[in-house]
Chain A
Amino acid sequence: MTTEGTSILRTERVTKAFGGIRAVDGCTLAIQPGKITGLIGPNGAGKTTLFNLIAGLYAPDEGSISLRDERIDGRPPFEIVQKGVVKTFQIPREFRNLTVLENLMVASPGHPGERAVSALIGWKRVWDREETIRKKALDILSLVELDRLSDAYGSELSGGQKKLLELARTLMVDPKVVLLDEPVAGVNPTLTGKLLGIIEGLRDRGTTFFMIEHDMDVVMERCDRVIAMHQGRPIAEGEPEEVRHNELVMEAYLGG
């Protein structure tokens, strides 16, 4: 497969095996900047494993992963986030006993107040930064229309609201690339539309999205490009319509 144009995120012959199963097997693909790329494939195709590899939760057995020209494979997850690649979880992982606002504020990177000594001394810049990120968090909360719930505990939100919170939290990081693991699974149609609208808005402002999604309507309507995976590697890539009619993809889904 050829990787056309400039890419922001690239994997090169990435392999990850669990025991005898090669969940990701020589996977080479490239993600174009400023686009929503869908990742589809039957269950067990290796999609979530690939995401975990990119996010640094696993180290690949072979191959490389790079952001622009920089290798990121084998780096710990927090460093990968600091470089601008953030992953959301398939099942929302809100901080249950922090308020919604605090859930966002805690996500802010490089906060000087997160160093114990600075926190103890109480530098003015720590608390000024705190004010800045509070405003930013409130802005993001009104973008995802959770501002009325800013004072509620994370645990008090509904399932769909938690998905919004999860997205909102990643936005605090000002990510370059967001890896979304089934962002609308289990979310009602109205909220799904809202969530995808927000994602498209952010895409238009330059954020790159890479999204695992099983809902074909969502993939066809909202993704700019689609990559189909099967048995640990991509089998097709292109515009949604091309991939949809690709014979290999149909075979993979029908169990050929």
Chain B
Amino acid sequence: MVEAVGVVADLASFGALVGIFAMLALALNLQWGKTGLFNAGIAAFWGLGAYVASMIVTDPVPTALARPGHWGIDQAAFPSVFGVSTSFTVAIIVAAIAAGVLAFFIAIPTMRLRADYFAIATLGFAEIVMNVFVKNLPGVTGGVEGITGVPRPFEFGSEIWKTNLSYFLLIAIVTVVLFFLLERLVRSPWGRVLQAVREDEDAAQALGKDTFSLKLQSFVLGAAIMGLSGAFFAFWLRGVSPPPNSFTAADTFAVWVIVIIGGSGNNRGVLAGAFVVPFLEYFSVRAKSWFDLGEPLATQIFYFRLIAIGIVLILLVMWRPQGIFPEPKHVAKRPRWVVGR
């Protein structure tokens, strides 16, 4: 029985991580899959969301001799509703807004760049935000120590509910809601005009489309979702910590792998792809205890995921470059229900 509880808790934790990556991948699918924006700075929007959310759900910590402190809000200021502090809701919303605002200011100078230069600009900017600013602002971000003691919502009730299950359910619901909202958005004339911008920006402009504004909308909305995912990631990890522990270019790369494997331009595919990367991680961490491997394999199996991702990517690019689920043919579809007269 104890073991079964452990397995459920473990799977729930894995499921929550799938949801967190699914949100990132859905956001990238809007930016890259639909609009052709080569965002290589995912880690920064994700990280900003995580840091902002962490500061909102923790008390401020002053810098002490041994430890850098960080900003925070006195938690007594947030009333509780049904035993859950409202600080979580505030944190999630502010995290999304902060990432969106950051994206807006990044986009103004860089959005006119061609795809490859835009990628370099966003990558460089992400490294600067995380490695230069976040890491070097003790007293604000906790410096190299990051922020610890970040709580999760629903930390009451039975042990398994408290630890992982409630959190998995929350993330699952948010991911599904996001999926339907994004599906509705891209399966609309708006999604269609984004796709036209992706296919040929000059031609879209020659047909009277304000392509700068459209790209900006897609980029900011995508970044806001990445910030939202960051908030959930901070709660999941019960803290944040700067690169090289979290929010690195490798995280950005993982999201790209998900989108490429799942099927760029297909939200369902991206959801499926979101299982792959966390699963390989999950598997390679636990394989040691599942199988009797013997040394040196037992130590090395952890790196198996890196090889596996490489092989999957190569096979995919060779035989199915459109991803597991290709982009659907017809873009705009009348929804089952419409509003107004």
Contact of B207 among A57, A113, A123, A173 (CB under 8 A): A173
CB distance from B19 to the nearest CB of A (A): 22
List of B residues within 8 angstroms of A154 by Cβ: 199
Task: Name the residue of chain A whose CB is nearest to the CB of B217.
Answer: A116
Interface size (A, Cβ < 8 Å)? 45
The answer on a CB contact under 8 Å between A123 and B331 is no
Interface residues of B in 163-193 (CB under 8 A from A): 181, 184-185, 188-193
**Residue A196 interfacial (CB < 8 Å):** no
- Contact between chains at A114 and B340 (CB < 8 Å): no
Taking the complex as formed, is A159 at the interface, i.e. its CB lies under 8 A from any CB of chain B? no
Given A78-B205, A96-B199, A169-B207, are A123 and B339 neighbors across the interface (CB < 8 Å)? yes
Instruction: Determine the distance from Cα of A106 to Cα of B330 in the docked complex, in whole angstroms.
Output: 12
Q: Within the assembled complex, what's the spacing in Å between the Cα atoms of A28 and B339?
A: 52
Q: For A105, list chain B residues within 8 Å (CB).
A: 189, 192, 332
- Does A86 count as interface, using CB distance less than 8 angstroms? yes
Which of the residues B181, B190, B208, B341 comes within 8 Å of A109, measured between beta carbons?
B208
A78 close to B190 (CB less than 8 A): no
* Across-interface contacts of B294 in A (CB, < 8 A): none
**With a CB–CB cut-off of 8 A, which chain B residues contact A170?**
207
A94 CB contacts on chain B under 8 angstroms: 200, 203
What's the nearest-Cβ distance from chain B to residue A153, in Å?
Answer: 8
Instruction: Report B-chain residues with C-beta under 8 Å of the C-beta of A55.
Output: 206
The answer to whether A93 touches B202, judged by C-beta atoms less than 8 angstroms apart, is yes
Q: Tell me if A106 and B190 are in contact (CB < 8 A).
A: no
A125 on the B face (CB < 8 A): yes
A120 touches B184 (CB 8 A): yes
CA distance A107 to B209 in the complex (A): 8
Residue from A55, A88, A119, A169 with most neighbouring chain B CB atoms (10 Å): A119
Q: Does B338 contact A (CB under 8 A)?
A: yes
Interface centre among A130, A170, A173 (most CB of B within 10 A): A130
Complex: how many Å from CA A76 to CA B212? 11
Chain B residues positioned under 8 Å from A127 (CB to CB) = 334-335, 338
Asked if A124 and B196 make an inter-chain contact with CB atoms under 8 angstroms apart, the answer reads: no
Q: Which residues of A contact B191 (CB under 8 A)?
A: 119
In the complex the two chains form, what is the Cα distance from A29 to B190 in whole Å? Answer: 39
Q: Scoring A residues 92 to 106 as 1 if CB is less than 8 Å from chain B, else 0, what string do you get?
A: 011111110010011
Which residues from A are CB-within-8-Å of B327? 97
Contacting residues of chain A (67-93) with chain B, CB-CB under 8 angstroms: 76-78, 81-82, 86-89, 93
Tell whether B195 is near chain A: CB-to-CB under 8 Å: yes
- Sorting the interface of chain B by its residue count into under 10, 10 to 19, 20 to 34 or 35 or more gives 35 or more
- Please name all residues of chain A whose beta carbon is closer than 8 Å to the beta carbon of B188 when the two chains form the complex: 113, 119-120, 122, 126
- Supposing A95-B196, A124-B338 touch, asked if A86 and B207 sit within 8 A by C-beta, the answer is yes
Q: B199, B200, B221, B340: which contacts A124 (Cβ < 8 A)?
A: B340
Residues in chain A near residue B337, CB distance under 8 A? 122
Closest partner residue, chain B, to A127 (CB atom): B334
| B13 interfacial by beta-carbon distance below 8 Å | no
CA distance A226 to B206 in the complex (A): 25
- Is A21 close to B, CB under 8 A? no
Q: Per a CB cutoff under 8 Å, which of B196, B206, B217, B338 touches A122?
A: B338
The chain A residues found within 8 Å of chain B, CB to CB, are 55, 57, 76-78, 81-82, 86-89, 93-99, 102, 105-107, 109, 111, 113-116, 118-127, 130, 153-154, 169-170, 172-173
Given A82-B208, A114-B189, A116-B221, output 17 extra A-B contacts at Cβ < 8 Å: A78-B205, A78-B208, A78-B210, A93-B203, A95-B203, A95-B204, A96-B200, A106-B195, A106-B196, A111-B193, A113-B190, A114-B209, A115-B190, A122-B339, A123-B338, A124-B341, A126-B338
B interface list, Cβ under 8 A from A = 181, 184-185, 188-193, 195-196, 199-200, 202-211, 214, 217, 221, 327, 329-332, 334-335, 337-341
> Which 6 A-B residue pairings sit nearest by Cβ, starting from the closest?
A81-B208, A113-B189, A119-B188, A93-B203, A119-B190, A95-B199
